[in-house]
Chains A and B, each alone.
Chain A
Amino acid sequence: MTVNTISERQRALVEEFDFFDNWMDKYNYIIELARALPLLPEEEKSEDQLVQGCQSKVWLKAEKKGDHVLFKADADAIIAKGIVALLVEVFNDQPAAEVAKADLEFLKEIGLQDHLSPTRANGLMSMVKQMKYYALAYAG
Protein backbone atom coordinates (compact mmCIF):
# COMPACT_ATOMS: atom_id res chain seq x y z
CA MET A 1 0.00 0.00 0.00
CA THR A 2 1.47 3.27 -1.05
CA VAL A 3 0.53 6.12 1.20
CA ASN A 4 3.12 8.64 0.10
CA THR A 5 4.53 9.67 -3.20
CA ILE A 6 8.25 9.46 -3.90
CA SER A 7 8.72 13.14 -3.28
CA GLU A 8 6.74 13.06 -0.02
CA ARG A 9 8.92 10.23 1.23
CA GLN A 10 12.05 12.14 0.28
CA ARG A 11 10.76 15.17 2.18
CA ALA A 12 10.16 13.03 5.28
CA LEU A 13 13.72 11.72 5.18
CA VAL A 14 15.16 15.20 4.79
CA GLU A 15 13.23 16.23 7.90
CA GLU A 16 14.60 13.22 9.81
CA PHE A 17 18.16 14.10 8.89
CA ASP A 18 17.61 17.72 9.88
CA PHE A 19 17.50 16.58 13.50
CA PHE A 20 21.18 15.64 13.42
CA ASP A 21 23.92 18.19 13.38
CA ASN A 22 26.87 15.84 12.93
CA TRP A 23 27.67 12.84 10.82
CA MET A 24 28.23 10.45 13.71
CA ASP A 25 24.55 10.89 14.58
CA LYS A 26 23.53 10.65 10.94
CA TYR A 27 25.45 7.40 10.67
CA ASN A 28 23.73 6.15 13.78
CA TYR A 29 20.41 6.79 12.07
CA ILE A 30 21.61 5.11 8.86
CA ILE A 31 22.64 2.09 10.94
CA GLU A 32 19.16 1.99 12.52
CA LEU A 33 17.58 2.01 9.06
CA ALA A 34 19.87 -0.89 8.11
CA ARG A 35 18.72 -2.87 11.14
CA ALA A 36 15.09 -2.22 10.27
CA LEU A 37 15.52 -3.49 6.71
CA PRO A 38 14.32 -7.11 6.47
CA LEU A 39 17.14 -9.58 5.86
CA LEU A 40 17.45 -11.12 2.45
CA PRO A 41 17.53 -14.94 2.81
CA GLU A 42 20.98 -16.39 2.02
CA GLU A 43 19.66 -18.24 -1.05
CA GLU A 44 18.47 -14.95 -2.54
CA LYS A 45 21.91 -13.35 -2.24
CA SER A 46 23.12 -14.53 -5.61
CA GLU A 47 25.96 -13.13 -7.70
CA ASP A 48 23.57 -11.74 -10.29
CA GLN A 49 21.76 -9.66 -7.65
CA LEU A 50 25.00 -7.91 -6.67
CA VAL A 51 25.17 -4.22 -7.48
CA GLN A 52 28.29 -3.59 -9.53
CA GLY A 53 30.59 -0.78 -8.44
CA CYS A 54 30.13 -0.94 -4.66
CA GLN A 55 33.10 -1.45 -2.36
CA SER A 56 31.12 -3.78 -0.16
CA LYS A 57 28.64 -6.39 -1.32
CA VAL A 58 25.15 -5.00 -1.93
CA TRP A 59 22.34 -7.22 -3.17
CA LEU A 60 19.25 -5.73 -4.73
CA LYS A 61 16.10 -7.61 -5.71
CA ALA A 62 13.05 -6.23 -7.49
CA GLU A 63 9.62 -7.66 -8.08
CA LYS A 64 6.73 -6.44 -10.16
CA LYS A 65 3.39 -5.97 -8.40
CA GLY A 66 0.79 -4.65 -10.81
CA ASP A 67 2.23 -1.39 -12.10
CA HIS A 68 4.26 -1.02 -8.90
CA VAL A 69 7.73 -2.27 -8.13
CA LEU A 70 8.82 -3.88 -4.85
CA PHE A 71 12.43 -3.73 -3.70
CA LYS A 72 14.39 -5.87 -1.27
CA ALA A 73 18.04 -5.31 -0.46
CA ASP A 74 20.87 -6.42 1.78
CA ALA A 75 24.57 -5.73 2.18
CA ASP A 76 27.51 -7.24 4.04
CA ALA A 77 28.55 -3.86 5.49
CA ILE A 78 25.95 -2.16 7.63
CA ILE A 79 26.46 1.43 6.45
CA ALA A 80 26.09 0.33 2.83
CA LYS A 81 22.96 -1.53 3.92
CA GLY A 82 21.62 1.61 5.59
CA ILE A 83 22.22 3.60 2.45
CA VAL A 84 20.43 1.11 0.26
CA ALA A 85 17.67 1.06 2.92
CA LEU A 86 17.21 4.80 2.34
CA LEU A 87 16.61 4.13 -1.33
CA VAL A 88 14.26 1.24 -0.62
CA GLU A 89 12.36 3.50 1.78
CA VAL A 90 11.81 5.99 -1.03
CA PHE A 91 11.17 3.63 -3.94
CA ASN A 92 9.52 0.54 -2.54
CA ASP A 93 5.98 -0.14 -3.77
CA GLN A 94 5.89 2.94 -5.96
CA PRO A 95 4.63 3.01 -9.56
CA ALA A 96 7.46 1.69 -11.76
CA ALA A 97 7.03 4.60 -14.15
CA GLU A 98 7.50 7.08 -11.28
CA VAL A 99 10.62 5.31 -9.99
CA ALA A 100 12.17 5.34 -13.45
CA LYS A 101 11.90 9.09 -13.82
CA ALA A 102 12.29 10.15 -10.17
CA ASP A 103 14.71 12.84 -9.19
CA LEU A 104 16.53 11.94 -5.96
CA GLU A 105 17.01 15.45 -4.63
CA PHE A 106 17.09 14.24 -1.03
CA LEU A 107 20.51 12.63 -1.44
CA LYS A 108 21.94 16.09 -1.98
CA GLU A 109 19.78 17.72 0.67
CA ILE A 110 20.77 15.36 3.46
CA GLY A 111 24.36 15.87 2.32
CA LEU A 112 25.03 12.20 1.67
CA GLN A 113 26.20 12.63 -1.89
CA ASP A 114 28.80 15.25 -0.96
CA HIS A 115 29.79 13.48 2.21
CA LEU A 116 30.76 10.18 0.63
CA SER A 117 34.20 9.68 -0.88
CA PRO A 118 34.11 9.53 -4.70
CA THR A 119 34.30 5.71 -4.77
CA ARG A 120 31.45 5.40 -2.28
CA ALA A 121 29.41 8.06 -4.07
CA ASN A 122 29.83 5.98 -7.22
CA GLY A 123 28.55 2.97 -5.30
CA LEU A 124 25.47 4.95 -4.27
CA MET A 125 24.86 6.00 -7.86
CA SER A 126 25.17 2.36 -8.96
CA MET A 127 22.42 1.40 -6.50
CA VAL A 128 20.15 4.14 -7.84
CA LYS A 129 20.87 3.15 -11.42
CA GLN A 130 20.14 -0.50 -10.72
CA MET A 131 16.76 0.34 -9.15
CA LYS A 132 15.85 2.53 -12.09
CA TYR A 133 16.77 -0.20 -14.58
CA TYR A 134 14.38 -2.57 -12.87
CA ALA A 135 11.67 0.07 -12.81
CA LEU A 136 12.20 0.90 -16.46
CA ALA A 137 11.96 -2.77 -17.42
CA TYR A 138 8.69 -3.16 -15.46
CA ALA A 139 7.20 0.11 -16.66
CA GLY A 140 7.80 -0.78 -20.31
Chain B
Amino acid sequence: MAYDVQQIRAQFPILNQEIHGRPLVYLDNAATAQKPLRVIEAISDYYLRYNANVHRGVHTLSQRATDAMEGVRESVRAHINAREVAEVIFTRGITDSINIVASGMTTLVEKGQNIVITALEHHSNIVPWQMLCQRTGAELRYFPMNENGELVLNQIDTLIDENTALVAFNHISNALGTINPVEQLLRKAQQVGAWTLVDGAQSGPHAKVDVQEWGVDFFTLSSHKMYGPTGLGVLYGRRERLEELPPHQGGGEMIATVSMEESTYADIPHKFEAGTPHIEGVIGFGAALDFINEVGVEAIAEHEHMLLEYALERTRVIDGFKVIGDTKHKASVLSFLVEGTHPYDLGVLLDQQGVAVRTGQHCTQPIMDAFCIAGTARASFACYNTKEDVDHFVAALEKSVSMLR
Protein backbone atom coordinates (compact mmCIF):
# COMPACT_ATOMS: atom_id res chain seq x y z
CA MET B 1 0.00 0.00 0.00
CA ALA B 2 1.35 3.40 -0.96
CA TYR B 3 2.21 5.79 1.84
CA ASP B 4 -0.52 8.42 1.89
CA VAL B 5 1.05 11.35 3.68
CA GLN B 6 -1.96 13.62 3.15
CA GLN B 7 -4.23 11.12 4.85
CA ILE B 8 -1.75 10.97 7.74
CA ARG B 9 -1.45 14.76 7.98
CA ALA B 10 -5.22 15.05 8.17
CA GLN B 11 -5.06 13.23 11.50
CA PHE B 12 -2.92 16.00 13.03
CA PRO B 13 -5.12 19.08 13.49
CA ILE B 14 -2.28 21.19 14.90
CA LEU B 15 -0.43 21.12 11.57
CA ASN B 16 -3.23 23.02 9.90
CA GLN B 17 -2.37 26.52 11.07
CA GLU B 18 -0.35 29.58 10.17
CA ILE B 19 2.61 30.94 12.13
CA HIS B 20 3.46 34.60 11.44
CA GLY B 21 1.14 34.42 8.46
CA ARG B 22 2.88 31.41 6.89
CA PRO B 23 1.79 27.76 6.90
CA LEU B 24 3.39 25.89 9.80
CA VAL B 25 6.27 23.61 8.83
CA TYR B 26 7.01 21.59 11.94
CA LEU B 27 10.53 20.14 11.87
CA ASP B 28 11.28 19.82 15.58
CA ASN B 29 10.11 16.25 15.84
CA ALA B 30 13.21 14.95 17.61
CA ALA B 31 12.25 17.23 20.50
CA THR B 32 8.59 16.25 20.51
CA ALA B 33 6.16 14.91 17.92
CA GLN B 34 2.67 16.27 17.33
CA LYS B 35 -0.35 14.23 18.41
CA PRO B 36 -2.93 12.63 16.15
CA LEU B 37 -6.57 13.36 16.92
CA ARG B 38 -7.16 9.88 18.27
CA VAL B 39 -4.61 10.48 21.07
CA ILE B 40 -6.36 13.69 22.08
CA GLU B 41 -9.73 11.95 21.90
CA ALA B 42 -8.55 8.97 23.95
CA ILE B 43 -7.50 11.34 26.74
CA SER B 44 -10.74 13.31 26.73
CA ASP B 45 -12.74 10.09 26.47
CA TYR B 46 -11.05 8.85 29.64
CA TYR B 47 -12.02 12.03 31.50
CA LEU B 48 -15.49 12.15 29.99
CA ARG B 49 -16.41 8.52 30.60
CA TYR B 50 -14.21 6.50 32.95
CA ASN B 51 -11.88 8.62 35.05
CA ALA B 52 -11.08 6.68 38.25
CA ASN B 53 -8.03 5.59 40.17
CA VAL B 54 -6.56 2.31 39.01
CA HIS B 55 -5.64 -1.02 40.58
CA ARG B 56 -7.53 -0.79 43.85
CA GLY B 57 -11.15 0.07 43.23
CA VAL B 58 -13.88 -2.55 43.05
CA HIS B 59 -16.22 -0.19 41.27
CA THR B 60 -16.85 -0.27 37.55
CA LEU B 61 -15.06 2.92 36.54
CA SER B 62 -11.92 1.89 38.36
CA GLN B 63 -12.10 -1.47 36.64
CA ARG B 64 -12.45 0.20 33.24
CA ALA B 65 -9.55 2.56 33.87
CA THR B 66 -7.40 -0.33 35.11
CA ASP B 67 -8.27 -2.45 32.09
CA ALA B 68 -7.42 0.41 29.75
CA MET B 69 -4.10 1.08 31.44
CA GLU B 70 -3.08 -2.57 31.59
CA GLY B 71 -4.15 -3.00 27.99
CA VAL B 72 -1.58 -0.38 27.02
CA ARG B 73 1.07 -2.19 29.04
CA GLU B 74 0.37 -5.20 26.83
CA SER B 75 0.59 -3.01 23.68
CA VAL B 76 4.01 -1.80 24.79
CA ARG B 77 5.12 -5.35 25.53
CA ALA B 78 4.07 -6.44 22.05
CA HIS B 79 5.65 -3.36 20.46
CA ILE B 80 9.12 -4.17 21.80
CA ASN B 81 8.54 -7.93 22.06
CA ALA B 82 9.22 -8.21 25.79
CA ARG B 83 8.78 -11.67 27.24
CA GLU B 84 6.13 -10.66 29.75
CA VAL B 85 3.94 -7.70 30.46
CA ALA B 86 5.35 -7.23 34.00
CA GLU B 87 8.65 -6.18 32.45
CA VAL B 88 7.06 -2.94 31.23
CA ILE B 89 7.24 -0.11 33.78
CA PHE B 90 5.55 3.22 33.24
CA THR B 91 7.69 6.18 34.30
CA ARG B 92 7.62 9.97 34.09
CA GLY B 93 9.83 9.90 31.00
CA ILE B 94 13.17 8.57 29.87
CA THR B 95 15.07 10.75 32.33
CA ASP B 96 13.07 9.07 35.07
CA SER B 97 13.59 5.61 33.52
CA ILE B 98 17.37 6.00 33.52
CA ASN B 99 17.42 7.47 37.02
CA ILE B 100 15.43 4.50 38.33
CA VAL B 101 18.18 2.17 37.15
CA ALA B 102 21.03 4.46 38.22
CA SER B 103 19.71 5.07 41.73
CA GLY B 104 18.72 1.42 42.15
CA MET B 105 22.25 0.35 41.28
CA THR B 106 23.75 2.36 44.16
CA THR B 107 23.89 -0.69 46.42
CA LEU B 108 24.91 -3.02 43.58
CA VAL B 109 27.98 -1.15 42.31
CA GLU B 110 31.22 -0.60 44.19
CA LYS B 111 34.59 1.11 43.92
CA GLY B 112 36.82 -0.68 41.42
CA GLN B 113 33.95 -1.22 39.02
CA ASN B 114 33.15 0.99 36.04
CA ILE B 115 30.18 2.27 34.04
CA VAL B 116 30.67 2.69 30.28
CA ILE B 117 28.72 5.22 28.19
CA THR B 118 29.48 6.99 24.90
CA ALA B 119 30.39 10.46 23.67
CA LEU B 120 27.05 10.58 21.84
CA GLU B 121 24.71 10.59 24.82
CA HIS B 122 21.95 12.97 25.82
CA HIS B 123 22.56 14.62 29.20
CA SER B 124 19.94 12.29 30.67
CA ASN B 125 22.18 9.32 29.88
CA ILE B 126 25.31 11.00 31.29
CA VAL B 127 24.41 12.80 34.50
CA PRO B 128 22.63 9.91 36.32
CA TRP B 129 25.75 7.77 35.78
CA GLN B 130 28.06 10.54 36.96
CA MET B 131 25.93 10.75 40.10
CA LEU B 132 26.03 6.96 40.54
CA CYS B 133 29.83 7.05 40.24
CA GLN B 134 30.02 9.85 42.81
CA ARG B 135 27.92 7.81 45.24
CA THR B 136 29.80 4.57 44.78
CA GLY B 137 33.34 5.49 43.75
CA ALA B 138 32.94 3.60 40.46
CA GLU B 139 34.68 4.95 37.37
CA LEU B 140 32.81 6.48 34.41
CA ARG B 141 34.25 5.65 30.98
CA TYR B 142 33.06 6.55 27.53
CA PHE B 143 33.55 5.65 23.90
CA PRO B 144 34.82 8.57 21.82
CA MET B 145 33.43 9.55 18.43
CA ASN B 146 35.05 10.56 15.16
CA GLU B 147 34.59 13.74 13.11
CA ASN B 148 31.53 12.26 11.39
CA GLY B 149 29.80 11.73 14.72
CA GLU B 150 30.27 7.97 14.69
CA LEU B 151 31.39 5.98 17.73
CA VAL B 152 34.96 4.72 17.66
CA LEU B 153 34.94 1.18 18.99
CA ASN B 154 38.56 0.13 18.50
CA GLN B 155 39.10 0.42 22.28
CA ILE B 156 36.11 -1.79 23.03
CA ASP B 157 38.16 -4.56 24.67
CA THR B 158 39.91 -2.20 27.06
CA LEU B 159 36.94 0.06 27.82
CA ILE B 160 34.55 -2.77 28.61
CA ASP B 161 36.28 -5.20 30.98
CA GLU B 162 35.44 -7.69 33.71
CA ASN B 163 34.90 -4.80 36.15
CA THR B 164 32.25 -3.16 33.99
CA ALA B 165 28.98 -3.02 35.93
CA LEU B 166 26.90 -1.50 33.17
CA VAL B 167 27.12 -0.33 29.57
CA ALA B 168 24.58 2.38 28.61
CA PHE B 169 24.12 4.10 25.25
CA ASN B 170 21.47 5.38 22.90
CA HIS B 171 20.26 3.51 19.85
CA ILE B 172 20.05 6.71 17.80
CA SER B 173 21.71 10.02 18.67
CA ASN B 174 19.21 12.84 19.17
CA ALA B 175 21.71 15.55 18.27
CA LEU B 176 23.13 14.01 15.10
CA GLY B 177 20.89 11.12 14.11
CA THR B 178 23.74 8.59 14.18
CA ILE B 179 22.52 4.99 14.46
CA ASN B 180 24.85 3.22 16.86
CA PRO B 181 26.22 -0.34 16.55
CA VAL B 182 23.89 -1.70 19.24
CA GLU B 183 24.56 -5.38 18.71
CA GLN B 184 28.35 -5.10 18.81
CA LEU B 185 28.22 -3.14 22.07
CA LEU B 186 25.68 -5.47 23.65
CA ARG B 187 27.63 -8.57 22.67
CA LYS B 188 30.80 -7.27 24.31
CA ALA B 189 28.95 -6.17 27.45
CA GLN B 190 27.24 -9.55 27.73
CA GLN B 191 30.59 -11.35 27.34
CA VAL B 192 31.92 -9.70 30.50
CA GLY B 193 28.61 -10.03 32.35
CA ALA B 194 27.86 -6.31 32.51
CA TRP B 195 24.31 -4.99 32.71
CA THR B 196 23.10 -3.16 29.62
CA LEU B 197 20.80 -0.22 28.99
CA VAL B 198 19.80 1.08 25.58
CA ASP B 199 18.12 4.50 25.43
CA GLY B 200 15.41 4.30 22.78
CA ALA B 201 14.32 7.95 22.86
CA GLN B 202 14.91 8.37 19.14
CA SER B 203 14.30 4.78 18.07
CA GLY B 204 10.75 4.54 19.39
CA PRO B 205 9.13 6.51 16.57
CA HIS B 206 11.51 5.42 13.80
CA ALA B 207 12.69 1.84 14.26
CA LYS B 208 11.38 -1.55 15.21
CA VAL B 209 13.11 -2.85 18.31
CA ASP B 210 13.02 -6.42 19.63
CA VAL B 211 14.41 -6.42 23.17
CA GLN B 212 14.64 -10.21 23.31
CA GLU B 213 16.56 -10.42 20.08
CA TRP B 214 18.98 -7.82 21.44
CA GLY B 215 19.08 -9.52 24.82
CA VAL B 216 19.28 -6.06 26.41
CA ASP B 217 18.62 -5.69 30.16
CA PHE B 218 16.99 -2.26 30.08
CA PHE B 219 15.41 -0.27 27.28
CA THR B 220 13.65 3.10 27.42
CA LEU B 221 10.90 4.78 25.40
CA SER B 222 9.40 8.26 25.48
CA SER B 223 5.67 8.63 24.82
CA HIS B 224 5.80 12.22 23.62
CA LYS B 225 8.37 11.49 20.93
CA MET B 226 6.09 8.71 19.67
CA TYR B 227 3.00 10.87 19.02
CA GLY B 228 1.75 10.31 22.58
CA PRO B 229 1.30 12.64 25.58
CA THR B 230 4.15 14.22 27.56
CA GLY B 231 5.04 13.15 31.07
CA LEU B 232 5.16 9.46 30.31
CA GLY B 233 8.02 7.11 29.58
CA VAL B 234 8.69 3.41 29.62
CA LEU B 235 11.39 1.44 31.34
CA TYR B 236 11.63 -2.08 30.02
CA GLY B 237 13.67 -4.35 32.24
CA ARG B 238 14.38 -8.05 32.10
CA ARG B 239 12.57 -9.73 35.03
CA GLU B 240 15.79 -10.97 36.70
CA ARG B 241 17.26 -7.48 36.64
CA LEU B 242 14.12 -5.75 37.86
CA GLU B 243 13.85 -8.21 40.73
CA GLU B 244 17.43 -7.55 41.73
CA LEU B 245 17.10 -3.76 41.46
CA PRO B 246 15.86 -2.07 44.66
CA PRO B 247 12.92 0.35 44.26
CA HIS B 248 13.88 4.01 43.98
CA GLN B 249 10.77 5.51 45.56
CA GLY B 250 8.47 4.39 48.34
CA GLY B 251 4.74 5.02 48.60
CA GLY B 252 1.38 3.65 47.63
CA GLU B 253 0.95 1.15 44.79
CA MET B 254 4.50 -0.21 45.17
CA ILE B 255 3.98 -2.16 48.41
CA ALA B 256 2.67 -5.60 49.32
CA THR B 257 2.30 -5.07 53.08
CA VAL B 258 2.99 -2.08 55.31
CA SER B 259 3.36 -1.97 59.06
CA MET B 260 4.80 0.87 61.11
CA GLU B 261 8.07 -1.05 61.38
CA GLU B 262 8.62 -2.29 57.85
CA SER B 263 7.07 -2.91 54.47
CA THR B 264 7.37 -5.53 51.80
CA TYR B 265 7.35 -4.52 48.19
CA ALA B 266 4.95 -5.44 45.46
CA ASP B 267 6.10 -7.53 42.53
CA ILE B 268 7.22 -5.94 39.31
CA PRO B 269 6.09 -3.79 37.60
CA HIS B 270 4.31 -2.15 40.57
CA LYS B 271 7.46 -2.15 42.71
CA PHE B 272 8.68 0.72 40.50
CA GLU B 273 5.39 2.56 40.13
CA ALA B 274 4.88 4.32 43.46
CA GLY B 275 1.89 6.64 43.65
CA THR B 276 -1.05 7.15 41.32
CA PRO B 277 0.27 6.66 37.80
CA HIS B 278 -0.15 9.00 34.81
CA ILE B 279 -3.34 7.19 33.78
CA GLU B 280 -4.44 9.61 31.05
CA GLY B 281 -0.89 9.59 29.68
CA VAL B 282 -0.82 5.81 29.48
CA ILE B 283 -4.20 5.74 27.75
CA GLY B 284 -3.13 8.41 25.27
CA PHE B 285 0.10 6.54 24.63
CA GLY B 286 -1.94 3.43 23.83
CA ALA B 287 -3.73 5.36 21.08
CA ALA B 288 -0.37 6.63 19.81
CA LEU B 289 0.98 3.09 19.58
CA ASP B 290 -2.13 2.03 17.67
CA PHE B 291 -1.49 4.90 15.27
CA ILE B 292 2.17 3.94 14.77
CA ASN B 293 1.29 0.29 14.22
CA GLU B 294 -1.46 1.17 11.78
CA VAL B 295 0.90 3.21 9.62
CA GLY B 296 3.79 0.83 10.31
CA VAL B 297 7.15 1.75 11.84
CA GLU B 298 9.01 0.54 8.76
CA ALA B 299 6.80 2.60 6.45
CA ILE B 300 7.33 5.66 8.64
CA ALA B 301 11.10 5.11 8.69
CA GLU B 302 11.17 4.73 4.92
CA HIS B 303 9.15 7.91 4.41
CA GLU B 304 11.38 9.88 6.79
CA HIS B 305 14.49 8.54 5.12
CA MET B 306 13.18 9.73 1.76
CA LEU B 307 12.64 13.21 3.29
CA LEU B 308 16.14 13.24 4.77
CA GLU B 309 17.70 12.28 1.43
CA TYR B 310 15.65 14.95 -0.32
CA ALA B 311 16.61 17.57 2.27
CA LEU B 312 20.29 16.63 1.94
CA GLU B 313 20.06 16.97 -1.81
CA ARG B 314 18.28 20.34 -1.64
CA THR B 315 20.51 21.85 1.05
CA ARG B 316 23.78 20.67 -0.52
CA VAL B 317 23.64 23.55 -2.99
CA ILE B 318 23.32 26.20 -0.28
CA ASP B 319 26.69 27.92 -0.09
CA GLY B 320 28.46 27.06 3.18
CA PHE B 321 25.90 24.46 4.30
CA LYS B 322 27.53 21.88 6.55
CA VAL B 323 25.94 18.74 7.96
CA ILE B 324 27.10 17.99 11.51
CA GLY B 325 27.20 14.23 11.98
CA ASP B 326 27.66 13.21 8.38
CA THR B 327 27.36 9.48 8.82
CA LYS B 328 26.11 6.75 6.54
CA HIS B 329 23.81 5.15 9.12
CA LYS B 330 21.56 7.94 10.11
CA ALA B 331 18.00 8.51 11.27
CA SER B 332 15.89 11.41 10.05
CA VAL B 333 17.81 14.15 11.86
CA LEU B 334 19.54 16.92 9.94
CA SER B 335 21.85 18.81 12.28
CA PHE B 336 23.57 21.62 10.43
CA LEU B 337 25.43 24.91 10.36
CA VAL B 338 25.66 27.46 7.58
CA GLU B 339 28.98 29.28 7.30
CA GLY B 340 28.82 32.89 8.38
CA THR B 341 25.59 32.47 10.32
CA HIS B 342 24.77 31.60 13.91
CA PRO B 343 22.25 28.79 14.51
CA TYR B 344 20.19 31.00 16.85
CA ASP B 345 19.80 33.60 14.14
CA LEU B 346 18.73 30.92 11.67
CA GLY B 347 16.22 29.59 14.18
CA VAL B 348 14.67 33.02 14.74
CA LEU B 349 14.37 33.86 11.05
CA LEU B 350 13.08 30.40 10.12
CA ASP B 351 10.40 30.76 12.79
CA GLN B 352 9.38 34.10 11.27
CA GLN B 353 8.71 32.16 8.09
CA GLY B 354 6.65 29.48 9.81
CA VAL B 355 9.42 26.86 10.04
CA ALA B 356 10.02 25.29 13.45
CA VAL B 357 13.52 23.87 13.98
CA ARG B 358 15.57 23.35 17.11
CA THR B 359 18.68 25.40 17.78
CA GLY B 360 21.34 24.96 20.41
CA GLN B 361 23.10 22.07 22.03
CA HIS B 362 20.19 19.61 22.05
CA CYS B 363 21.06 18.59 25.64
CA THR B 364 24.34 17.19 24.35
CA GLN B 365 26.96 19.69 25.43
CA PRO B 366 29.86 17.18 25.22
CA ILE B 367 29.05 16.48 21.55
CA MET B 368 29.06 20.19 20.70
CA ASP B 369 32.35 20.61 22.62
CA ALA B 370 33.86 17.74 20.61
CA PHE B 371 32.97 19.51 17.38
CA CYS B 372 34.16 22.83 18.90
CA ILE B 373 30.84 24.49 18.13
CA ALA B 374 28.35 26.30 20.34
CA GLY B 375 25.42 24.42 18.88
CA THR B 376 23.64 23.55 15.66
CA ALA B 377 20.32 24.08 13.99
CA ARG B 378 18.43 20.82 13.67
CA ALA B 379 15.59 19.81 11.38
CA SER B 380 14.05 16.43 12.19
CA PHE B 381 11.32 14.69 10.26
CA ALA B 382 8.24 12.71 11.24
CA CYS B 383 5.56 10.64 9.54
CA TYR B 384 3.47 13.70 8.61
CA ASN B 385 6.17 15.80 6.96
CA THR B 386 6.12 16.23 3.20
CA LYS B 387 8.51 17.12 0.41
CA GLU B 388 6.72 20.48 0.31
CA ASP B 389 7.76 20.96 3.96
CA VAL B 390 11.35 20.42 2.86
CA ASP B 391 10.88 22.90 -0.02
CA HIS B 392 9.47 25.53 2.39
CA PHE B 393 12.32 24.86 4.80
CA VAL B 394 14.97 25.24 2.10
CA ALA B 395 13.44 28.43 0.71
CA ALA B 396 13.14 29.92 4.20
CA LEU B 397 16.71 28.89 4.97
CA GLU B 398 18.03 30.52 1.79
CA LYS B 399 16.18 33.71 2.61
CA SER B 400 17.50 33.69 6.21
CA VAL B 401 21.06 33.12 5.06
CA SER B 402 20.85 35.98 2.58
CA MET B 403 19.67 38.30 5.36
CA LEU B 404 22.40 37.20 7.75
CA ARG B 405 25.41 37.36 5.47
Contact = CB atoms under 8 A, between A and B. Distances in A.
Interface in B353-401: 353, 360, 374
B352 interface: yes
B232 to A, nearest CB: 25
A78 B404 CA distance: 7
A78 B342 contact: yes
A28 B349 CA distance: 10
How many of chain B's residues touch chain A, expressed as a range? Answer: 10 to 19
B151 interface: no
B344 A27 contact: no
Nearest first, the 10 closest Cβ-Cβ pairs linking A and B are A77-B342, A77-B344, A56-B344, A79-B345, A77-B345, A78-B345, A24-B352, A23-B352, A79-B348, A78-B404
Interface in A1-32: 22-24, 27-28, 31
B344 A79 contact: yes
B352 A27 contact: yes
Contacts, number: 36
A80 B352 contact: no
Nearest to B21: A22
Given A24-B352, A24-B353, A55-B360, A80 B344 contact: yes
Contacts of A27: 348-349, 352, 403
A111 to B, nearest CB: 13
B344 A28 contact: no
Contacts of B341: 78
Interface of A: 22-24, 27-28, 31, 55-57, 76-80
Interface of A is mostly: helix
Contacts of A55: 344, 360
A44 B345 CA distance: 23
Contacts of B314: none
B20 interface: yes
A38 to B, nearest CB: 19
B342 A56 contact: yes
A22 B352 CA distance: 9
B342 A28 contact: no
A31 B344 CA distance: 13
Nearest to A80: B344
B23 to A, nearest CB: 16
A4 B352 CA distance: 33
A56 B341 CA distance: 13
9 contacts: A22-B21, A23-B20, A27-B348, A27-B349, A27-B403, A28-B403, A78-B341, A78-B342, A79-B348
B352 A76 contact: no
Given A27-B348, A27-B349, A27-B403, 7 more contacts: A27-B352, A28-B403, A55-B360, A78-B342, A78-B345, A79-B349, A80-B344
A31 B342 contact: no
Contacts of A77: 342-345
Contacts of B403: 24, 27-28, 31
B355 to A, nearest CB: 13
A55 B20 CA distance: 22
A117 to B, nearest CB: 9
Nearest to A26: B352
Contacts of B360: 55
A55 B347 CA distance: 12
A110 to B, nearest CB: 16
The CB with the most chain B CB atoms within 10 A, among A57, A76, A78, is that of: A78
Interface in B1-53: 20-21
A19 B386 CA distance: 36
Contacts of B21: 22
Contacts of B345: 77-79
Contacts of B404: 31, 78
The CB with the most chain A CB atoms within 10 A, among B20, B348, B353, B403, is that of: B348
B342 A76 contact: yes
Contacts of A56: 342, 344, 374
Contacts of A23: 20, 352
Nearest to B359: A55
Interface in B317-360: 341-345, 348-349, 352-353, 360
A76 B20 contact: no
Nearest to A56: B344
A22 B349 CA distance: 12
A76 B340 CA distance: 11
Nearest to B360: A55
A82 to B, nearest CB: 9
A108 B160 CA distance: 57
A28 B341 CA distance: 14
A57 B352 contact: no
A55 B342 CA distance: 12
A23 B19 CA distance: 12
A119 B352 CA distance: 17
Nearest to A54: B344
